[in-house]
A = this chain, B = another copy of it.
Amino acid sequence: MLPRGRSRALGAAVLLLGLLLLVGLFLLGGDPWAEDVGGSCCHPTPPELPDGRPSRPASRDGASRPPRCQLLHVAIVCAGLNSSREVVTLVKSMLFYRKNPLHLHLVTDAVARSILEMLFRTWMVPALGVSFYDADQLKPHISWIPNKHYSGLYGLMKLVLLSVLPPGLAQVIVLDTDVTFAADIAELWALFADFSDKQVIGLVENQSDWYLGNLWKNHRPWPALGRGFNTGVILLWLDRLRHEGWEQMWQLTARRELLTQPATSLADQDIFNAVIKEHPGLVQSLPCVWNVQLSDHTLAERCYLEAADLKVIHWNSPKKLQVKNKDAEFFRNLYLTFLGYDGNLLRRELFGCPSQPPTGAEELQHSLAQLDEEDTCFEFRQQQLTMHRVHITFLPHKPPPPQPHDVTLVAQLSMDRLQMLEALCRHWPGPMSLALYLTDAEAQQFLHFVEASPVLSARQDVAYHVVYREGPLYPVNQLRNVALAQALTPYVFLSDIDFLPAHSLYDYLRASIEQLGLGGLRKAALVVPAFETLRYRFSFPRSKAELLDLLDAGALYTFRYHEWPWGHAPTDYARWRAAQAPYRVQWAADYEPYVVVPRDCPRYDPRFVGFGWNKVAHTVELDAQEYELLVLPEAFAIHLPHTPSLDISRFRSSPTYRGCLQALKEEFHQDLSRRYGAAALKYLTALQQPHSPA
């Protein structure tokens, strides 16, 4: 037996140790009471414990974090065009606040994958990894579950992430596409530290009375613990789930419940809740601020009125931003912040966390570093090297059915030409592939513009590809190449946005392609003669005869007849007047006709940015590759007037601009010589013989 004094000292030491332990837990974020938490809805801090001790707020306050530079993993199921647009706003909000390297695990269908692969490849965000998983492979695992939720089959896929995510992945945060971050995701990751040994899943309580039942007559929800949990934000402890036999567990529960329930109403969430009801020890309840749910009948107010800090907003109403909530304006502003946020600004490094640079970033960095800032054409060269973020098929689109002679109209535009779209749709009933050069905020204005237009929103065969603005010069040829690469028909009509084609052109081109036997061995570019009007209002000619009358009356001109006749002179308008059949013309200097070519035609030279020579170089390329130039006797398109673009004004007023264009032309010809040898000599000779004034 120990002497009394010693035992007392020991007692004090034990007390001290206990206290230290408590303080340690407090500081490190361990949660000895975790299993008791949950039950009452929507309080920003966990409620008081039964014995009156306040539960500790420490790690819930954003104080604790995962180690600096630790890679955090996020999984998202994303299918279809609209979700792939929606997820970008989520990703932007996440990247804005993040300070850790992230890896996105995206479970996608083919549509979302093609969009998002291009987006992330061109976005080039440092310290961001992206992996894709095929959602179709998951379908058999869940297609047996009848589901009434608007998210469809994809809504159930969160149940089966285990089967696609890498086996070595221990923990992951799973997010719905309709959440927005207002805090650093590392703080959310830190909550894994609060899990007890048995807990495998972290969820925020559901902020509605749905699972309490009796919302209406015969409303019988799936079983849940109290108000149940919302699965818009999930912390998944994957290796524990594997160990617990998660697959069998949820399937067993689901099959049993489906004996009495006709279907799931809220997709995966019903099943997660039924499992948790049966195994309450699996769940760690997360603070409500990590999933503030804005459905119509939300109780979220109890959360956000008390919390100083909202971390994640969840637009979990089918109405999304249009949800009825008296504070919706506040939340919308958070959302709109990232909707319109310039994604280019997120290309920022994480200081002090070494990471694999994005593919191509080092080469790009190297090329940029080699530019000479004193070079007067520095701006041009920098613009040429700019990697623009590209979001293909930004709006709903149905690919045209495969037809052997079909033609897609290809063009590019910026915000100031939106007015052209409706008229263009009226003149061209076929498929179009349009590249739009926009800021993130303008992309949203554009979306609203299309939605507000009955003409535009009725068309499913027009694909809009957003190329995000960066740099002072308009990257006209890069835009054309994006639109061209996305054309899905065998032929393309390479047009410009301010031209309206003859109403009959689409049908006529398809017939001509067939009759001329294009696409076989014949390598040809069909020329569509170009005209212009200087009047805003004029009645568009319904036939070639009407067009010729207008031309004779001086109401129409051949395109740029006054300013730059060489651009279209080789089309030989005089011959065209009387022509009954397609006729061949020869290339000449500065020729830049609008042509129909096979989709695999040469790309535009991206070195030409801003105004000038961008189409001319393409025609040289066509000629060098021995495309026959065939003028179509019944085809025409008419240029409508518009305010000159800023680039043109700049070109006209700046000797530097013209000087740089000249330098670019010369470099282009050097490249031509390298590729085509002596055959390219004629282009150089032509370049060196300036035109006499028009």
Q: Can you list the 3 inter-chain pairs with the closest CB atoms, starting with the nearest?
A: A5-B5, A12-B12, A63-B63
Stretch in A245-253, A345-353, A581-589, A604-612 touching the partner: A345-353
Is A674 at the interface (CB under 8 A from chain B)? Answer: no
Is A242 at the interface (CB under 8 A from chain B)? Answer: no
Is A687 at the interface (CB under 8 A from chain B)? Answer: no
Task: Please report the C-alpha to C-alpha distance between residue A330 and residue B127 in the assembled complex, in whole angstroms.
Answer: 14
B residues in contact with A478, CB < 8 Å: none
Task: Please report the C-alpha to C-alpha distance between residue A16 and residue B12 in the assembled complex, in whole angstroms.
Answer: 8
Stretch in A80-88, A302-310, A402-410 touching the partner: A302-310
A210 to B: closest C-beta gap in Å: 24
Q: Are B333 and A345 in contact (CB under 8 A)?
A: yes
Q: Are B342 and A336 in contact (CB under 8 A)?
A: yes
Task: Please report the C-alpha to C-alpha distance between residue A682 and residue B322 in the assembled complex, in whole angstroms.
Answer: 46
Is A649 at the interface (CB under 8 A from chain B)? Answer: yes
- Of the candidates B4, B19, B329, B419, the one whose C-beta lies within 8 Å of that of A19 is B19
Supposing A306-B352, A348-B330 touch, asked if A441 and B342 sit within 8 A by C-beta, the answer is yes
Is A121 at the interface (CB under 8 A from chain B)? Answer: no
Q: Are B642 and A643 in contact (CB under 8 A)?
A: yes
Q: Are B330 and A349 in contact (CB under 8 A)?
A: yes
- Of the candidates B12, B336, B348, B644, the one whose C-beta lies within 8 Å of that of A333 is B348
Residue from A68, A535, A643 having most chain B Cβ neighbours under 10 A: A643
B residues in contact with A341, CB < 8 Å: 337
Is A681 at the interface (CB under 8 A from chain B)? Answer: no
Is A295 at the interface (CB under 8 A from chain B)? Answer: no
Q: Are A333 and B347 in contact (CB under 8 A)?
A: yes
Supposing A19-B19, A329-B348, A351-B305 touch, asked if A644 and B12 sit within 8 A by C-beta, the answer is no
Supposing A9-B8, A9-B12, A12-B13 touch, asked if A644 and B419 sit within 8 A by C-beta, the answer is yes
Q: Are B342 and A340 in contact (CB under 8 A)?
A: yes
Given contact pairs A68-B308, A417-B643, A536-B644, enumerate 14 new A-B contacts (beta carbons under 8 Å). Answer: A4-B5, A5-B5, A5-B6, A12-B12, A12-B13, A19-B20, A61-B63, A62-B62, A65-B308, A304-B351, A306-B352, A337-B341, A419-B644, A537-B562
Is A363 at the interface (CB under 8 A from chain B)? Answer: no
Supposing A68-B308, A327-B351, A345-B337 touch, asked if A416 and B16 sit within 8 A by C-beta, the answer is no
User: 17 pairs across A/B with beta carbons < 8 Å?
Assistant: A6-B8, A8-B8, A8-B12, A9-B9, A9-B12, A12-B15, A19-B19, A99-B308, A99-B309, A305-B352, A330-B351, A334-B345, A336-B342, A337-B342, A439-B441, A534-B535, A537-B563
Contacting B at CB under 8 A, from A343-362, are: 345-349, 351-352
Interface residues on A, range: 35 or more
Is A641 at the interface (CB under 8 A from chain B)? Answer: yes
Is A579 at the interface (CB under 8 A from chain B)? Answer: no
Contacting B at CB under 8 A, from A416-433, are: 416-419, 422
Residue from A4, A345, A347 having most chain B Cβ neighbours under 10 A: A345
Is A23 at the interface (CB under 8 A from chain B)? Answer: yes
B residues in contact with A336, CB < 8 Å: 342, 345
B residues in contact with A5, CB < 8 Å: 3-6, 8-9
A316 to B: closest C-beta gap in Å: 19
Chain B residue with the shortest CB-CB distance to A419: B649
Task: Please report the C-alpha to C-alpha distance between residue A16 and residue B16 in the assembled complex, in whole angstroms.
Answer: 6
B residues in contact with A8, CB < 8 Å: 5-6, 8-9, 12
Chain B residue with the shortest CB-CB distance to A643: B642
A651 to B: closest C-beta gap in Å: 13
Task: Please report the C-alpha to C-alpha distance between residue A68 and residue B644 in the assembled complex, in whole angstroms.
Answer: 54
Is A646 at the interface (CB under 8 A from chain B)? Answer: yes
Q: Are B308 and A416 in contact (CB under 8 A)?
A: no
Task: Please report the C-alpha to C-alpha distance between residue A126 and residue B213 in the assembled complex, in whole angstroms.
Answer: 39
Q: Are B16 and A646 in contact (CB under 8 A)?
A: no
Chain B residue with the shortest CB-CB distance to A335: B345
A517 to B: closest C-beta gap in Å: 41
Task: Please report the C-alpha to C-alpha distance between residue A248 and residue B24 in the assembled complex, in whole angstroms.
Answer: 48
Chain B residue with the shortest CB-CB distance to A449: B646
A556 to B: closest C-beta gap in Å: 14
B residues in contact with A643, CB < 8 Å: 416-417, 419, 641-643
Task: Please report the C-alpha to C-alpha distance between residue A188 and residue B5 in the assembled complex, in whole angstroms.
Answer: 48
Task: Please report the C-alpha to C-alpha distance between residue A65 and residue B62 in the assembled complex, in whole angstroms.
Answer: 11
B residues in contact with A352, CB < 8 Å: 304-308
B residues in contact with A416, CB < 8 Å: 416, 643
Task: Please report the C-alpha to C-alpha distance between residue A23 and residue B19 in the assembled complex, in whole angstroms.
Answer: 10
Task: Please report the C-alpha to C-alpha distance between residue A306 and residue B439 in the assembled complex, in whole angstroms.
Answer: 34
Contacting B at CB under 8 A, from A1-39, are: 3-6, 8-9, 12-13, 15-16, 19-20, 23
Interface mask (A626-667 → B, CB under 8 Å = 1, otherwise 0): 000000000000000111101001000000000000000000
B residues in contact with A536, CB < 8 Å: 534, 641, 644
B residues in contact with A422, CB < 8 Å: 649
A378 to B: closest C-beta gap in Å: 15
- Of the candidates B418, B449, B534, the one whose C-beta lies within 8 Å of that of A534 is B534
Contacting B at CB under 8 A, from A203-218, are: none
Residue from A6, A336, A352, A563 having most chain B Cβ neighbours under 10 A: A352
A667 to B: closest C-beta gap in Å: 25
Chain B residue with the shortest CB-CB distance to A336: B345
A447 to B: closest C-beta gap in Å: 13
Task: Please report the C-alpha to C-alpha distance between residue A604 and residue B548 in the assembled complex, in whole angstroms.
Answer: 48
Residue from A3, A309, A330, A351 having most chain B Cβ neighbours under 10 A: A351
A22 to B: closest C-beta gap in Å: 10
Task: Please report the C-alpha to C-alpha distance between residue A535 and residue B644 in the assembled complex, in whole angstroms.
Answer: 12
Chain B residue with the shortest CB-CB distance to A4: B5
Task: Please report the C-alpha to C-alpha distance between residue A441 and residue B443 in the assembled complex, in whole angstroms.
Answer: 14
Q: Are A327 and B306 in contact (CB under 8 A)?
A: no
A610 to B: closest C-beta gap in Å: 14
Chain B residue with the shortest CB-CB distance to A337: B345
Interface mask (A447-462 → B, CB under 8 Å = 1, otherwise 0): 0010000000000000
Task: Please report the C-alpha to C-alpha distance between residue A348 and residue B331 in the assembled complex, in whole angstroms.
Answer: 9
Task: Please report the C-alpha to C-alpha distance between residue A99 and residue B12 in the assembled complex, in whole angstroms.
Answer: 43
Q: Are B309 and A419 in contact (CB under 8 A)?
A: no
Task: Please report the C-alpha to C-alpha distance between residue A309 and residue B9 in the assembled complex, in whole angstroms.
Answer: 44
Task: Please report the C-alpha to C-alpha distance between residue A555 and residue B439 in the assembled complex, in whole angstroms.
Answer: 39
Chain B residue with the shortest CB-CB distance to A331: B348
B residues in contact with A418, CB < 8 Å: 646
